[in-house]
Amino acid sequence: MPRVDLTHDADNDLEEIFDHLAQFDAKNAAAKVREIHRELGVLAQNPMIGRPLCGDIRELLIGKRPHGYAARYRYKRGGIVLILSIRSQRQG
């Protein structure tokens, strides 16, 4: 089964998401970040589930617009799903 890893940039994105959510909805910030982690875990079982973007970059949509997120990632055939970035779907 593939392993899911976050780049430093993606890890920073999660921190920024948490900080933003905590500013406006402190009760749900940690739960939302846990939900994002859970959804990223799906890639360990099905790394090709995300829609293709360009080259070997894919995108997994998490949640529903306008409150959802888009995780861009690369699946390395050696068994690693590398999360490159996580953005609000509003950011595009």
Burial of residue 58, with CB atoms counted within 10 A of its CB: 0-12 exposed, 13-18 middle, 19 or more buried = buried
Q: What is the pLDDT of residue 2?
A: 87
Please report where in the chains the tokens 């589930």 appear, as a residue. Answer: 49
Q: Structure pTM? A: 0.89
- The predicted structure's pLDDT at residue 1: 82
Domain boundaries, the chain: 3-88
The predicted pLDDT at position 25 comes to 74
Q: Is the dihedral of CA 70, 7, 14, 87 positive or negative?
A: negative
Containing 18, the helix (H) or strand (E) segment is helix 8-24
pLDDT in tens, 6-63: 999 999 999 999 999 899 877 788 999 999 999 999 999 999 999 999 999 999 999 8
Question: Quick one: average pLDDT of 77-82?
Answer: 89
Q: What architecture does CATH give domain 3-88?
A: 2-Layer Sandwich (3.30)
What is the structure's pLDDT at 7?
A: 97
